[in-house]
Amino acid sequence: MTGNIQTLLPDDIERRSMEIIEGELGDTSELSPLQKVIIKRVIHTTADFDYIKNLRFSDNAVELGMAALRSEAVIVTDTQMALSGISKPALKALGCNAYCFMSDPAVARIAHENRTTRAVASMDNAAELFADRRVIFAIGNAPTALIRLRELTDMGRISPALIIGVPVGFVNVVQSKELIINSGVPYIVAEGRKGGSNVAAAICNAMLYMIYDRSTGKIVAE
């Protein structure tokens, strides 16, 4: 083997990765400190520095998301992959829960009966189940989920604490993100075609890790 290969433990790998990212970020003067943490976590997950300019934040979006998590918010995702990627120790410590209803038989049946997507039926299901809870929607795959969230918001059926809108793809992806940007709801959105379930989970974890100290297992004081 050739090259300067380093033997590092997982925590050291993450710390060194963040140091490399920090060194290559360039000018971040337009970002708030909290926005910078989110972007660095997404770059750490994707190795894609385009997110410096692609991630859009509504006013105080990160602060509002973190406040919701401190208030035992529910996170609803549109993929099992995103759900599996969100830190379970952090959720447990904060009294939060995360859900994905895409594989729920009742959701599949309703989607079939209504001739719509499971993502749409999942958002309707979440709106009904969590009408009295603070909800963060973390959407990394399905533009139809974002479109339905905008409809539910306009109808007054939901009032999300935060929408993370980062679906990846080509059909209705850009348009669905614009709907959320113009919805009046707090958002973190990846403009353009890029995104994915891993990005949705990374954004959730970035907020969680600013509240939950992984080294001690304790909640960070406000």
Query: Which CATH number is 183's domain given?
Result: 3.40.50.10230
> For residues 160 and 137, is the Cβ–Cβ distance under 8 A?
yes
In a domain, 103, yes or no: yes
The model's confidence at residue 1, banded by pLDDT at 50, 70 and 90, is very low
The model's confidence at residue 221, banded by pLDDT at 50, 70 and 90, is confident
Q: What is the pLDDT of residues 132-154, one digit of tens each?
A: 999 999 999 999 999 999 999 99
**pTM (2 d.p.):** 0.94
Average pLDDT over the chain reads: 94
Number of domains in the chain: 1
In a domain, 20, yes or no: no
3-state secondary structure at position 167: coil
In a domain, 29, yes or no: no
> For residues 208 and 62, is the Cβ–Cβ distance under 8 A?
no
If you search the block for the tokens 């719509």, which residue do you land on? 116
d(CA 66, CA 49) in angstroms, rounded, equals: 24
State which residues form the domain around 84.
54-219
Q: Worst-scoring range by mean pLDDT, 29-33, 60-64, 137-141, 197-201?
A: 29-33
Q: How many helices (H) and strands (E) does the chain have?
A: 11, 8
Mean pLDDT across 81-97: 97
In a domain, 84, yes or no: yes
CA 37 to chain centre: 13
pLDDT at 5 > cutoff 80: no
Sign of CA dihedral 96, 145, 175, 140: positive
In a domain, 2, yes or no: no
Catalytic annotation present for 112:
no
In a domain, 27, yes or no: no
> For residues 72 and 96, is the Cβ–Cβ distance under 8 A?
yes
For 186-215, letters b (16+ CB in 10 Å) and e give bbbbbbeebbbbbbbbbbbbbbbebbbeee
In a domain, 48, yes or no: no
Q: What is the pLDDT of residues 161-183, one digit of tens each?
A: 999 999 999 999 999 999 999 99
* Share above pLDDT 90 across residues of the chain, in percent, rounded to a whole number: 87
In a domain, 161, yes or no: yes
Choosing from 17, 36, 37, 44, which is the catalytic residue? 44
* Share above pLDDT 70 across residues of the chain, in percent, rounded to a whole number: 96
CA distances (Å), origin 113, targets 101, 116, 121, 146: 16, 8, 10, 21
DSSP string, 59-128: TTHHHHHHHHHHTT-EEEES-HHHHHHS-HHHHHHHT-EEEE-TT-HHHHHHHHHHTS-HHHHHHHHHHH
> For residues 96 and 73, is the Cβ–Cβ distance under 8 A?
yes
